[in-house]
Chain A
């Protein structure tokens, strides 16, 4: 080894030690901010990472006494069982249809709401609307569905009473194939749009006001300002939110579907999340349910990776 090489090695070692030290030093310097991250990190470790070892159950014959670690390995038996199940492809199709509808129709809603709220100049009114719109997020699905049942029932429900008073015949909304998708999508939008708008409102508030001033001077109207300034400014946030939504395409939310799906709508309303709950908890087929759940997650990860790389190439915004 010559001197130059030795110097280079020493330099690299010193640099990495310094770098390491400086990282810990920087963490210590900003310890308060790191402390703010602590509950989040603990949450992820406890509720997201530690339970992951439970996924091995998908490849085992789960027994109550053996538990997750002690049960016998069974390979891909439960995955095969799922794909051989005569309703498997119907369930996957139903999941994809509802999910894509939620994505296509539901995804733009918080953005539209945020843009509309941003245009409201009366602060009191804006805050009131914002509060009312995000409150449904905190109401559980069981309450939402009970309200829907009471509102929409043809037997004394206010919606149908109005329909009847206008001279039309009453409509059986729930448990009706003709109205199933509409109710699923609209109730989802009603529950999620307000809360989802918060992140876009935050992004909009970060847009440089001088841009609007310049646009005004150039003669741009409100719509043009939104189109040429606001939307491009919040595009990175929109893309990130869209990428995350892509990961959830195979999951549509078991609570909503479990509660709103009825036998009359089962042909289009039985989705993977409900199938997992029914086979795992109602039938006690833990390994099978885990296998189906894992399948959902794997597809979700693949979709995120694909969407992320497309986004990286097309508009240079990506999750990683």
Chain B
């Protein structure tokens, strides 16, 4: 008996091991209804998913109109990692939704040109709304030049969430935010802080104040995991934030930010803040959860953030009304209010070639429906009469919906979730009159107040070609790219140095590697093009 049991056990273990080699079954189809497996490739987007992704009012209405149910997988971790895994293993979903920038977009283009995606050309010709999202004027210059126009032998990638009108441009309101009670205590008006020196003095005053919250020390300055988005403070030194951006002066001379003295000054400024205990020493090493915990507890006197992130995370500790704009800070040229956004849509959408014709057609039907005004309204504001009423053409949230907004359960209705990423042009203001419930929402009112502080000169669109396109198409790119991938780590390493000399030595080693890889030749090429009339994007406000 014992022997038989052992034999049985061994066989079970063996089969379990072999089962690891089998494929998962594909999602079912039948009764005229189609289930599409979707990869929603946005890190952490699962947090905004409805509790019941299949049976919520928006999903049910979509199913009723199109016969399509979405089985959505959300990414938790790096988007590039996830897409690389999908492409390398061949474990394709039916539909891909992901960021319209960065390495993710480049990988998707590679997949398109390798024949891994369905060619949507016949459907684009047939459906006006599909064609609309691919018009050159409905995407950023970089997206058109680097991705959409680089597709070979067809149109494989759709684009979504580009603002339909100027009113629809979303201002994320990136900037420094300060706990106004602490500013009051140290006796410094937040609006008087304008330069790096002012910021340093302010943070120093906070440090000397020895503030505590619930028995924990308050850090003068902090940010999220991996230091995000501390690098927006580099806009005080260079026209476009980030080590990998380009600094093109008025004469058209181009320099790679990382190679410039101005960017070096920012690194040394941050190093000074770190070394003197003005910046949370764990800012580049703590996890997102711990960072949000610190923010919700009010343990940062000042933090770089975008408005919604700041509001939602401080709200967890009931502190959302304590934080106000610090500054605005002067840019590299001493201007406090110049705001130029790179107007762009956020989503790239594709359907993998492995998906059946039936699924392809179901997807087209779904996208066509969701990108209609009716579909957009459904995904953005829910069901008319149930979640909102239309008054003078403007969406007015019903009382129950407002309650759900306040207690954070609106997502469970399927409103403003992943469905929205398939709705084509963003029409929040032009179609709905503004964010859902804005008439009664404190968050929206606070944002309007802060916009008056940050955007006194209004907002303009950044124009011109992103110089990155020249770098990417340069013969030296293959040698330069591996160095650029470690540049972010090098900057963080320099910020942690104990002396300026040590920081410079770390930066200079990588600068030397960039020089050896041929970065100066690329700079010369951009300079030549800029001087001979190519319009490059020379200024960009983080958004």
Question: Which residue from B13, B286, B513 sits with its C-beta under 8 Å from A39?
Answer: B13
Q: Number of contacts between A and B (CB, 8 Å)?
A: 111
Whether the pair A262, B285 counts as a contact (CB closer than 8 A) is yes
Pair B493/A155 contact, Cβ less than 8 Å? no
Determine if A86 and B516 form an interchain contact, defined as CB atoms under 8 angstroms apart.
yes
Q: Are A32 and B6 in contact (CB under 8 A)?
A: yes
CB contacts under 8 Å to A, within B68-109, are: 78, 80-81, 83-85, 87-88, 90, 103, 107
Residues of A within 8 A of B116 (CB): 64-65
Q: Does any Cβ of B come within 8 Å of A266's Cβ?
A: yes
A111–B486 CA distance with the chains assembled, in angstroms: 40
Q: Indicate if A19 sits at the interface (CB-CB under 8 A).
A: no
A67 near B84: Cβ-Cβ < 8 Å: no
- Are the CB atoms of B6 and A263 closer together than 8 Å? no
The CA-CA distance from A2 to B115 in the complex, in Å, is: 70
Contact of B114 among A64, A155, A278 (CB under 8 A): A64
Q: Contact string, A23-52, partner B, CB cutoff 8 A, digits 1/0?
A: 000000000100110110011001100000
Cβ of B206 to closest chain A Cβ, rounded Å:
16
Contact A64 B496 (CB under 8 A): no
B1 at the interface (CB under 8 A from A): no
Interface size on B, residues (CB 8 A): 52
**Residues in B neighbouring A206, C-beta threshold 8 A:** none
The listed residue (A42, A86, A172) touching B14 by CB distance below 8 A is: A42
Whole-angstrom distance between the Cβ of B477 and the nearest chain A Cβ: 13
Cβ contacts under 8 Å, B201 to chain A: none
By a CB distance below 8 angstroms, the chain B residues around A35 are: 6-7, 10-11
Residues of A within 8 A of B11 (CB): 35
Contact of A281 among B78, B496, B513, B516 (CB under 8 A): B78
User: Would A282 and B114 count as touching, CB distance under 8 A?
Assistant: no
B114 touches A264 (CB 8 A): no
**Interface mask (B36-51 → A, CB under 8 Å = 1, otherwise 0):** 0000000000000000
B14 touches A286 (CB 8 A): no
Q: Are A283 and B103 in contact (CB under 8 A)?
A: yes
For the residues of B in contact with A, the DSSP-based class is helix
B216 within 8 A of A: yes
Q: Which residues of A contact B513 (CB under 8 A)?
A: 86
Given contacts A174-B282, A175-B284, contact A87 B14 (CB under 8 A): no
Residues A65-92 near B (CB distance < 8 A): 65, 67, 81, 85-87
Answer whether A281 and B111 are a contact pair too, CB < 8 Å, given A42-B18, A175-B284. no
From A32, A63, A155, A279, B216 is in contact (CB under 8 Å) with A155
Tell me, yes or no, whether B483 is within 8 Å of chain A by CB: yes
Interface: B509 (CB within 8 A): yes
**Given the known A-B contacts A46-B17, A262-B285, A282-B81, are A86 and B509 also in contact in the complex, defined by CB atoms under 8 Å?**
yes
B110 at the interface (CB under 8 A from A): yes
In the complex, A146 has a CB within 8 A of chain B = yes
B492 within 8 A of A: yes
Contacts of A266 in B (CB 8 A): 489, 492-493
User: Are A38 and B18 in contact (CB-based, < 8 A)?
Assistant: no
Residues 158 to 215 of chain B near chain A (Cβ within 8 Å):
none
Minimum distance in angstroms from A238 CB to a CB of chain B: 30
| Secondary structure type dominating chain A contacts | helix
Q: B17 touching A149 by the CB < 8 A rule?
A: no
Complex contacts, A62 vs chain B, CB 8 Å: 88
Say yes or no: is B318 at the interface (Cβ < 8 Å to chain A): no
B10, B85, B115: most-surrounded residue (chain A CB, <10 A): B10
| A243 and B107 alpha carbons, distance in the complex (Å) | 42
Assess whether B107 is in contact with A284, with CB atoms less than 8 Å apart: yes
A219 at the interface (CB under 8 A from B): no
Contacts of B286 in A (CB 8 A): 149
The answer to whether B282 touches A263, judged by C-beta atoms less than 8 angstroms apart, is: no
Check A284/B84 contact, CB under 8 A, given A87-B486, A263-B492, A263-B493.
Answer: yes
Q: How far is the CB of A305 from chain B (nearest CB, A)?
A: 30
8 Å CB contacts to A: which residues of B464-501? 482-483, 485-486, 489, 492-493, 495-496
Q: Contacts A39-B17, A264-B493, A282-B80 hold; do A175 and B87 have CB atoms under 8 A apart?
A: no
Q: Contacts of A149 on B, CB cut-off 8 Å? A: 286-287, 290
B87–chain A nearest beta-carbon distance, Å: 4
Q: Is A267 in contact with chain B by the CB < 8 A criterion?
A: yes
Contact status B216-A156, CB under 8 Å: yes
Whether B10 pairs with A38 at a CB distance below 8 angstroms is yes
Bound CA–CA A136/B285 (angstroms): 23
Chain A window 233-244, contacts with chain B (Cβ cutoff 8 Å), 1 for yes, 0 for no: 000000000000
Indicate whether B217 reaches chain A with its CB closer than 8 angstroms. yes
Known: A64-B87, A65-B115, A262-B284. A175 touches B496 (CB 8 A): yes
Say whether B14 contacts A39, CB under 8 Å: yes
Q: Of the candidates B3, B80, B492, which one forms a contact with A284 in the assembled complex, judged by CB atoms under 8 Å apart?
A: B80
What 6 A-B pairs have minimum CB-CB distances, sorted nearest first?
A263-B492, A264-B496, A65-B114, A86-B513, A262-B285, A39-B13
- Inter-chain pairs besides A86-B483, A266-B492, A281-B81, 18 sampled, C-beta below 8 Å: A35-B7, A38-B13, A39-B17, A42-B14, A46-B21, A63-B114, A65-B114, A85-B482, A146-B287, A149-B286, A154-B281, A175-B284, A175-B496, A263-B285, A263-B493, A278-B485, A284-B83, A286-B88
14 examples of A-B residue contacts, CB within 8 angstroms? A32-B3, A64-B110, A64-B111, A86-B483, A86-B512, A154-B281, A174-B282, A264-B284, A264-B496, A279-B482, A281-B78, A281-B80, A284-B103, A286-B84
